[in-house]
Amino acid sequence: MKSTDMIKFSNIKDKDIKELQTMLKDKKLELFELKLQLKTMQLTDYSKISAVRKEIARINTAISAKRG
C-alpha cells in the first residue's frame, strides 16, 4: 500500500487486533520518518504528516472498538 492511499475505517474494522497493532507500528515509523525529513528540509508534501496522523487515529479507534 502506498503512503498516499488513505486507509478507510471500513477496511480496518475487519482486521484482528494483531494486524492492527502491526499496521499501527508501521504508521508510527512512517510518521517518524516524515518528521525526520521535515527537520532536514527534505519533505516537499507537508500534508503527508497530517494524513498519517489521521490514519494512526483510525487504527487506534479500531483497536479500542475491538477491545471494548
pLDDT of amino acid 68: 80
pLDDT of amino acid 1: 45
The whole-model pTM stands at: 0.85
CATH of domain 9-67: 1.10.287
pLDDT of amino acid 57: 95
pLDDT surpasses 60 at 43: yes
For residue 53 the three cell numbers come to 496522523
For residue 55 the three cell numbers come to 490514519
pLDDT of amino acid 5: 67
Q: Where are the domains of the chain?
A: 9-67
The percent of residues in the chain predicted with pLDDT above 70, rounded, is 93
DSSP letters spanning 7-54: PPHHHHTTS-HHHHHHHHHHHHHHHHHHHHHHHTT----THHHHHHHH
Site of grid cell 500534508: 47
